[in-house]
Amino acid sequence: MLTLSKKIMVAIDGSPQSDKAAEEAIRLGSISGSKFKSSVYAVLVLPSMKSQSFTDFFPNKPATELPGWEQKRDRIFFVVEKAAREAEVPLESVVLYGDPAEELILMAREKHCDVIVIGSSGKGRVKRTLLGSVSSKVALQAHCSVYIVR
């Protein structure tokens, strides 16, 4: 394996699949050793704010401004932050709003990522066909390699 620094993005959502993906992303980042430091972006994509409607007179606050957000954020990013600390891999945690697949693809392009690591959805064949899968959309549309962790 070629040991050059890489920019690695990992999709985080607090699920067991994303925790596995986070551990794998950090492992990939640590392979390059100390001479060629890889960096990891841990990305959580929250649903976008609702479109304008009557309820705009009483707008909802974004999830990141609600009470208890810091505790939720700490739980969601716990695995990746702990693994990065232990492996001494540079990590940047990012929270975005929008469609998960679209936002992941867009950020990967903007940051010139070499690989996107994402957990498998675990949906059955019928559910995946009807609803789609973030990992499937990312794998089909990303400009870089996509590593789907099961």
> What interhelical angle do 100-110 and 134-141 show, nearest 10?
40
Residues composing the chain: 150
41 vs 11: CA distance, rounded Å: 8
Q: What percent of the chain has pLDDT over 90?
A: 62
* pLDDT tens digits, 30-61: 987 666 779 999 999 998 765 555 555 566 66
Domain that holds residue 130: 7-149
Nearest 5 degrees, angle CA 22-CA 86-CA 104? Answer: 25
Residue 13 forms part of a structural domain = yes
Instruction: Answer for the pair 119, 11: CB distance below 8 angstroms, yes or no.
Output: yes
Q: What is the pLDDT of residues 111-138, one digit of tens each?
A: 999 999 999 875 555 555 544 689 989 9
Q: Is residue 2 part of a domain?
A: no
Looking at the structure of the chain, the number of domains it has is 1
Distance CA 76, CA 122 (A): 18
Assign residue 97 the CATH number of its domain: 3.40.50.620
